[in-house]
């Protein structure tokens, strides 16, 4: 009798049992899925690790454990992995693990993707309805002795810093009402308080934004909600010593579009940006709204600070959204390399009732800024960020916009010297973490992953140790990593004396 399930000929038995990863920039180059959990002590080091560099560099990468349900999926959907580079006693130990989110566990049990499009629950397999769909892939956050992995579409997961075991989703013992928490928490260096917000706090496409404060002991002490002016994405925010600053850029979502299976975000070039500023310890009813240029976009803020009645906000602006898939969903078709931008200071006068603000250019375009943690919310003298050096050859394919940065900037502020550390062609650099000096006048360092394309198309990854004030001298030490590391989202440095 004919068996309909039998292969028709030998050919069909060669068809892969699983779908493949899609043929797009989100799964190629530095974005090639790796999915290897590993531990390795005493990585090879070229050069000499500086004395006093004791602590752990944690980093977050998205790395999809299964081929996605849809071919137009993007890198921001990848399962969160956390890695640790543990610097101690002149050696570096390395671990990398998946975050065991509820979503990771469900898909791991099924051995296939069950969650659908990027931040679109209406495209999920019916079997996972109601299961937390965050992938916790954006920033490792350290506060009050707790390590979190965060993503702006859900609540954080708590991770054991020594083993990288996932300890579960975190809601401050049930005190947190918001369904979402930003990946860009801000910690006041003097009070130790952590400031959080979450947009879509009441669920996908809700206009509710939460604003919360966690005290230095790790207790949630305050949470208030306000309404955002439109369904915009809010990736980062800022605090000063007296204000909280919420910038909204016109990349918007739409419930009907999601229900029809469409994309989460579309950039709207004709919509203005809006900036809400309130006393950071005050009531959300005290929020003041300012209006900025149409179609402008920013993901990351370097810092903010007060100067009398003025609030300065230093951020990386581009004239449209830097993510191709968010532009294209909004019908905007421009070449990635043609998009103009700058590192700008936006200055808001809280004493006047004007809706506009002053703009000053501080430096060349870029993103992925770092400051000394001790400078958060204060007037500050320097910062670091990544940029694109046009003389550095074609950028390596990788990261969410499809082109990896190839140079590091040190800038003295507000209008001081700018140093550039360009990488040789075929190299990519990830956002640095900053390691403060351990004694007054001592050296401060930057640690960052540098990826190099090999001739066979594979990648070699290293952690570079740089003197934060002598970038031109290049790396003091290069730590060789046994695996290619995917493009980093964000990282953090935890000094050894704070670790268990
Ligand atoms: C960003 C990253 C995300 C995300 C939304 O860098 C925005 C911006 C890694 O996840 O979901
Ligand atoms: Fe970010």
Distance 299 CA to ligand 1 centre (A): 9
Q: Which ligand approaches the C-alpha of residue 200 most closely?
A: 1
18-32, 58-72, 78-92, 192-206: segment of lowest average pLDDT: 18-32
- Looking from the CA of residue 60, the nearest atom of ligand 1 is 9
Centre of ligand 1 to C-alpha 11, Å, is 41
pTM for the whole thing?
Answer: 0.95
486 pLDDT band, cuts 50/70/90, is confident
User: Looking at residue 17, what is its pLDDT?
Assistant: 56
**In which band, very low, low, confident or very high, does the pLDDT at 337 lie, cut at 50, 70 and 90?**
confident
Q: Is the pLDDT of residue 6 over 50?
A: no
* Best probe residue, ligand 1, of 81, 181, 183, 329 (max atoms within 8 Å of C-beta): 183
The reported pLDDT for the residue numbered 16 is 52
Give the residue, out of 152, 252, 486, 491, with the most ligand 1 atoms within 8 A of its beta carbon, to mutate for a pocket test: 152
Mean pLDDT of 275-281: 98
Alpha-carbon distance of 413 to 418, in angstroms, equals 9
> Looking at the 3D structure of the chain, how many domains does it have?
1
Which of 74-88, 189-203, 371-385, 396-410 has the least mean pLDDT?
A: 396-410
Ligand 1, atom nearest to 75 Cα: 9
Q: Would 397 be classed as within a structural domain?
A: yes
Q: DSSP assignment, residue 132?
A: -
* CA of residue 444 to ligand 2 center, whole Å: 23
Asked whether residue 15 is assigned to any structural domain, the reply reads no
Helix (H) or strand (E) run with residue 327 in it: helix 324-329
**3 in a structural domain:** no
Residue 4 pLDDT greater than 60, yes or no: no
CA distances from 413 to 45, 106, 389 (A): 34, 48, 21
- Give per-residue pLDDT as tens, 149-176: 999 999 999 999 999 999 999 999 999 9
Atom of ligand 1 nearest to the CA of 489: 9
Q: Which atom of ligand 1 is nearest to the CA of 400?
A: 6
Query: With bands split at pLDDT 50, 70 and 90, how would you rate the model's confidence at 2?
Result: very low
pLDDT exceeds 80 at position 270: yes
Q: Is residue 106 part of a domain?
A: yes
Query: How confident is the model over 233-256, as a mean pLDDT?
Result: 98
11 within some domain? no
CB 20 within 8 A of CB 67: yes
pLDDT at 399: 85
Provide the residue range defining the domain that includes 264.
25-498
Mean of pLDDT over the chain: 95
62 Cα–ligand 1 center, Å: 10
Compute, in angstroms, the gap from residue 464 CA to the centroid of ligand 1. Answer: 24
Could you tell which of 64, 103, 140, 151 is best to mutate to test the pocket of ligand 1, judged by most ligand atoms within 8 Å of the CB? 151
**pLDDT, tens digit (0-9, with 9 covering 90-100), for 453-474:** 998 889 999 999 999 999 999 9
For atom 4 of ligand 1, which residue has the closest CA? 76
Among 133, 137, 138, 402, name the best residue to mutate to test ligand 1's pocket (greatest count of ligand atoms within 8 A of Cβ).
138
Sequence-ordered strand ranges (E) for 15-67: 38-40, 45-47, 55-62
Q: What is the pLDDT, as a whole number, of residue 1?
A: 38
Report whether pLDDT(5) > 80. no
For residue 19, give the 3-state DSSP assignment: coil
Q: Ligand 1: which residues within 6 Å by Cβ?
A: 62, 76, 137-138, 151-152, 235, 299, 400, 489
Render pLDDT for 364-415 as a digit per residue (tens, 0 to 9). Answer: 999 999 999 999 999 999 999 999 998 999 999 988 888 999 999 999 999 9
Ligand at minimal distance from the CA of 323 is 1
- 5 domain residue, yes or no: no
Adjacent-strand bridge partners of 8: none
Measure CA 5 to chain center.
Answer: 46
137 part of a folded domain: yes
CA 316/CA 300 separation, integer angstroms:
6
Average of per-residue pLDDT across 214-226: 98
Within a domain: 178: yes
Q: Ligand 2 centroid vs 223 CA: distance in angstroms?
A: 22
Q: Which atom of ligand 1 is nearest to the CA of 62?
A: 9
Residue 492 has pLDDT above 80, yes or no: yes
State yes or no: pLDDT of 55 exceeds 60: yes
């Amino acid at each position: 009798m004919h068996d309909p399930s039998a292969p028709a000929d030998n050919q069909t038995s060669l068809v892969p049992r699983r779908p493949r990863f899609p043929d797009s920039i989100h799964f190629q180059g530095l974005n090639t899925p790796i999915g290897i959990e590993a531990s390795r002590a005493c990585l090879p080091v070229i050069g000499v690790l500086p004395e006093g560099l004791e602590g752990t560099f944690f980093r977050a990468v998205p790395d999809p454990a299964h081929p996605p349900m849809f071919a137009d999926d993007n890198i921001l959907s990848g399962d969160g992995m956390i890695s640790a580079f543990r610097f101690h006693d002149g050696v570096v130990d390395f671990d990398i693990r998946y975050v065991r989110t509820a979503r990771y566990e469900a898909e791991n049990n099924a051995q296939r993707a069950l969650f659908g499009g990027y931040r679109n629950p209406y495209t999920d397999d019916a079997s996972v309805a109601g299961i937390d769909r965050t992938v916790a892939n954006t920033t490792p956050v350290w506060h009050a002795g707790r390590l979190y992995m965060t993503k702006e579409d859900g609540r954080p997961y708590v991770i054991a810093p020594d083993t990288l075991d996932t300890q579960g989703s975190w809601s401050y013992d049930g005190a947190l009402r918001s369904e979402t928490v930003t990946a860009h928490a801000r910690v006041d260096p003097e009070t130790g308080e952590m400031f959080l917000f979450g947009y879509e706090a009441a669920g996908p496409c809700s206009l509710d934004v939460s604003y919360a404060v966690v005290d230095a002991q790790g207790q949630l002490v305050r949470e208030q909600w306000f309404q955002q002016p439109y369904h915009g994405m809010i990736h980062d925010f800022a605090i000063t010593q007296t204000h909280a600053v919420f910038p909204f850029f016109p990349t918007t979502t739409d419930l009907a579009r999601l229900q029809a299976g469409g994309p989460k975000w579309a950039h709207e070039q004709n919509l203005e940006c809006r900036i809400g500023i309130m006393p950071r310890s005050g009531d959300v009813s005290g929020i003041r709204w300012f209006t900025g240029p149409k179609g402008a976009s920013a993901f990351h803020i370097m810092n903010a600070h007060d100067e009398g009645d003025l609030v300065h906000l230093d951020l990386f602006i581009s004239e449209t959204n830097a993510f191709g898939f968010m532009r294209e969903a909004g019908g905007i078709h421009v070449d990635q390399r043609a998009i103009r931008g700058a590192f700008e200071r936006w200055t808001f006068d809280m004493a006047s009732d004007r809706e506009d603000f002053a703009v000053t250019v501080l430096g060349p375009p870029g993103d992925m800024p770092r400051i000394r943690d001790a400078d958060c919310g204060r007037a500050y003298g320097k910062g670091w960020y990544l940029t694109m050096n046009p003389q550095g050859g074609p950028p390596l394919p990788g990261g969410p916009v499809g082109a990896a940065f190839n140079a590091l900037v040190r800038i003295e502020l507000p209008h001081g010297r700018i140093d550039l550390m360009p990488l040789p062609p075929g190299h990519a650099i990830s956002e640095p973490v900053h390691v403060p000096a351990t004694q007054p006048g001592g050296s401060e360092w930057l640690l960052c992953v540098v990826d190099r394309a090999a001739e066979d198309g594979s990648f070699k990854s290293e952690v570079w140790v740089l003197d934060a004030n002598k970038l031109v001298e290049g790396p003091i030490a290069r730590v060789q990593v046994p695996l290619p590391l995917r493009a980093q989202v964000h990282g953090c440095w935890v000094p050894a004396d704070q670790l268990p």
